[in-house]
Structure 1
Amino acid sequence: MKLLFDLNSLRPPRSGIGYYTQHLLEGLREQSDVEDVAGWVGSSVYSGTSLTDLMTDQTSLPAAAQFSDGLKARLLRKSRGLPGLYRMRTIVRHHASRALRRDFGRRGYIYHETNFIASPYKGPMVVTVHDLSHRRHPEFHPRVAVDYLDRGLPRTLRHAQTIIADSIYTRNEILEIYGVPEEKVVPIYLGVEPSFQPYSEEVCAPALQALGLRRQGFVLSVCTLQPRKNLHRLVEAFAALPAEMRQAYPLLLIGAEGWKNSTLMQSIRSLARVGQIATPGYVSRSTLLQLYASAAVFAYPSLYEGFGLPVAEAMASGVPVLTSNVTSMPEVAAGAALEVNPYSVEEITSGLERLLSDAPLRAELVAKGLRRAAELTWESTVKQTLNVYRALAA
């Protein structure tokens, strides 16, 4: 088999879809019946050594535009709201890669689009759909992004021979909303990197010292700061905890600044001034691993997830997890987390207080979480994805 990927998701800073793509590439290249794995960015083709270099060196591609503070952030937000922006970017990318896609199609490559919208391709095609939040909760996203997905995703789902969903929940969403044949949609869970594991206090010291934190002395949440992640309710719930508990266990929000979060940032300020909330933004992978392994509690009361990989990463890191009882989160946690109604600030507050004050419960969830996370491996993800390709190649 010969496999082809759009590698734009590998642009730094690498997001969840970027790491999904990377782990697939790494695992597939080790399979005996995979003759070649190739991909493109613009008009450039990557295979063999050049693909290895691209996967391991995140500086080899220009960074994707990111929100930041000040004038640059304001200009970026305005530009992302321009009508036709996503469509124009898509047209430019399709034009740059048109000739090479035709060549790969003639040579019998199976094209796997890992990021929702596939480029036109005359050959067997697989697409991964990670969630359908743009349909269930369009209010959580920039309008241009919703329009882009509404236009492009139905076409992609029609043309793809197989659709991979991150969970059974997402598979059911695809079937209900788009009415595609049941046999066309395959649920394949994501995996957890082996680097997410419990680490000693000595290993975690650099990250803790840099942020002025103590081991098992803070509540951690990791996500892009956007409405779907329900951070405004998490912050409100945290603010309702007893003052001494907030002081002993400050809330650490890790992630790039996203969109529609001005109200969230305002609510954070008063608690940040007294050292009870910190928002360091996007952090390095090594720092992230140390923070996961050092938290007292991982809080992820998201309103909608197609999988919820941070929940699995936290469990693998040996941290008790509080998460939502909706969408895919119960499926991923499989009874190894404390689940709450994410629309209830009172339930989130109660859950946080219970975990922070109940050491036996934390220990129980840590043990259950480690066992559950061990079942979610990238090796399994690659193996099941390879079976999809084999069925197409047969």
Structure 2
Amino acid sequence: MRIGFDAKRAFANKTGLGNYSRFVLDSLYNHEKGHEFIAYTPKNNKNLFPDFPQKSVIFPKTFFDRKLSAYWRYSSITTQLQKDRVSIFHGLSNEIPRGLAKANIASVVTIHDLIFEKLPSHYKAIDRAIYRHKFKSACERADAVIAISEQTKGDLIDIYRVDQNKIHVIYQDCNPVFKKTVDLQKRLEINKEYGINAPYVLCVGTIEERKNQLRLVQAFTRIKNKEFKLVLVGKQTLYTQKIHDFIAENNLIDQILILENVPTDHLPALYQEAELFAYISIYEGFGIPILEALNSGTPVLAAKGSCLEEAGGPGGLYADPYDLDDITNQLQKLLDNPGLRKSLAELGKQHMEKFTGKQIAHQLLELYTKIDRHNL
């Protein structure tokens, strides 16, 4: 089969949708050798995916398409796919172009989450309208829909009334760098570089209201174990100021550290040295940081109510993200009990076997084969 992919995010986005796109393409390329995988992208100028073969990266052909790349991705790419004899097209980030069915090209779209529908106050009205049109249209036109979690599948059925038989839950994995043990001396050097000189709880993710870091900070101030620090890693937003204000008002500057622009190759060391990973986000489509933590051998405290219990499985404890007492109690339980942390970490490692690239590549190929119009 010749399978084309909307790979813009793989070559343009450092995190999130970019990570997912790179994971899918890398897994298929490495584990399903008998097929052609072609990545379509307007540009490739950020060196985010150097391992993917350049001969399989395709750009817009005409001057018009290069200048209007959004239109190319939405419509005129279909003509190019026909010329390239692509039999299946996979939209990796919530959308697919028009005209695929008429061109006899089977289609798959991955829907990552419907957070903008579940938490509308976190998005501008115009953005919600654009996302809703793109997502619903893609689900209606695609031959198959991939949801990255059971949570997202349920949301697609409940909110958009997508036929459940059309939806296939296929998970993803995290960057393989989190599966490699970092030498102890290197870990200690990286910790020292960031001023971490005590046992710590780690939280990684954009510092924004949905991620709920302020409530985590508030819970952390209530615990009895004052030898621990809390380290927040992520892009800062206006919400971060609320955390800074709370830290200043409660004289917590020596206990809570906020880091930004931490390179990816430093993150495995931070995860592996942490006693605990805390991620009490109010709502997620999947929760890749949970996989990063469990692959690092670090147990998790995560939130109930979206997909984080699905991602973390038996590798952590879970709390109501709106209930400060519940968060505090679960955090205290984990910090008081090193044996519990160790057993959760071991269970988490076993749970991670569900998310291997080889297994997921096989699931994707089974789905592509099922919908391939040339095999029908």
TM-score range, shorter chain: 0.7 to 0.9
Separation (CA, whole Å) in 1 of partners of 2:44 and 2:233:
34
Separation (CA, whole Å) in 2 of partners of 1:350 and 1:257:
27
TM-score by length of 2: 0.85
Separation (CA, whole Å) in 2 of partners of 1:4 and 1:153:
19
Matching residue's letter, 1:14: K
Structure 1 residue aligned with 2:258: 279
Structure 2 residue aligned with 1:208: 191
Structure 1 residue aligned with 2:93: 115
Match of 2:337 among 353, 358, 373: 358
**What's the CA shift string for 1:269-318, capped at 9, x where partnerless?**
45686222222113211101111111011001111122212112211111
Structure 2 residue aligned with 1:174: 156
Does the CA contact (< 8 Å) of 1:293 and 1:318 recur in 2?
Answer: yes
Separation (CA, whole Å) in 2 of partners of 1:351 and 1:43:
44
Q: CA deviation at 1:147?
A: 2.6
Matching residue's letter, 1:19: N
Matching residue's letter, 2:273: S
Match of 2:82 among 99, 105, 109: 105
Matched, 1:154 2:131: no
Separation (CA, whole Å) in 1 of partners of 2:237 and 2:185:
33
How many residues align? The count is 354
Structure 2 gap ranges (5+): 58-66
The DSSP-based 3-state class of the residue aligned with 2:314 is coil
Does the CA contact (< 8 Å) of 2:177 and 2:265 recur in 1?
Answer: no
Matching residue's letter, 1:102: T
Matching residue's letter, 1:192: C
Matching residue's letter, 2:220: F
Does the CA contact (< 8 Å) of 1:140 and 1:226 recur in 2?
Answer: no
Matching residue's letter, 2:345: V
Counterparts of residues 194-273 of structure 1 (less than 5 Å) = 194-197=176-179, 198-214=181-197, 217-242=199-224, 245-246=225-226, 248-258=227-237, 260-270=239-249
The DSSP-based 3-state class of the residue aligned with 1:313 is helix
Change in CA separation of 1:168 and 1:267 when aligned onto 2, cut-off 3 Å? same
Change in CA separation of 1:11 and 1:335 when aligned onto 2, cut-off 3 Å? same
Q: CA deviation at 1:361?
A: 1.1
Change in CA separation of 1:259 and 1:112 when aligned onto 2, cut-off 3 Å? farther
**What's the CA shift string for 1:111-130, capped at 9, x where partnerless?**
21111133334232211111
Matched, 1:321 2:322: no
Does the CA contact (< 8 Å) of 2:7 and 2:39 recur in 1?
Answer: no
Does the CA contact (< 8 Å) of 2:5 and 2:37 recur in 1?
Answer: no
Q: CA deviation at 1:348?
A: 1.1
Q: CA deviation at 1:203?
A: 2.9
**What's the CA shift string for 1:6-25, capped at 9, x where partnerless?**
22213455112211111211
Separation (CA, whole Å) in 2 of partners of 1:50 and 1:313:
21
TM-score by length of 1: 0.81
Structure 2 residue aligned with 1:39: 40
Q: CA deviation at 1:222?
A: 0.8
Change in CA separation of 1:275 and 1:360 when aligned onto 2, cut-off 3 Å? same
Does the CA contact (< 8 Å) of 2:23 and 2:172 recur in 1?
Answer: no
Moved more, 340-349 or 114-123: 114-123
Matching residue's letter, 1:35: E
Structure 2 residue aligned with 1:70: none
Separation (CA, whole Å) in 2 of partners of 1:50 and 1:221:
29
The DSSP-based 3-state class of the residue aligned with 1:282 is coil
Matching residue's letter, 1:307: F
Q: CA deviation at 1:194?
A: 3.6
Q: CA deviation at 1:187?
A: 0.4
Structure 1 gap ranges (5+): 57-90
**What's the CA shift string for 1:294-349, capped at 9, x where partnerless?**
10110011111222121122111111211112221222222221111111111111
Q: CA deviation at 1:259?
A: 5.9
Structure 1 residue aligned with 2:310: 331
**What's the CA shift string for 1:182-228, capped at 9, x where partnerless?**
2110001112344213434223133211112147x111001112222
Moved more, 4-13 or 159-168: 4-13
Say what the alpha-carbon RMSD is for the aligned residues. 2.9
Separation (CA, whole Å) in 2 of partners of 1:22 and 1:281:
23
Structure 1 residue aligned with 2:64: none
The DSSP-based 3-state class of the residue aligned with 1:292 is helix
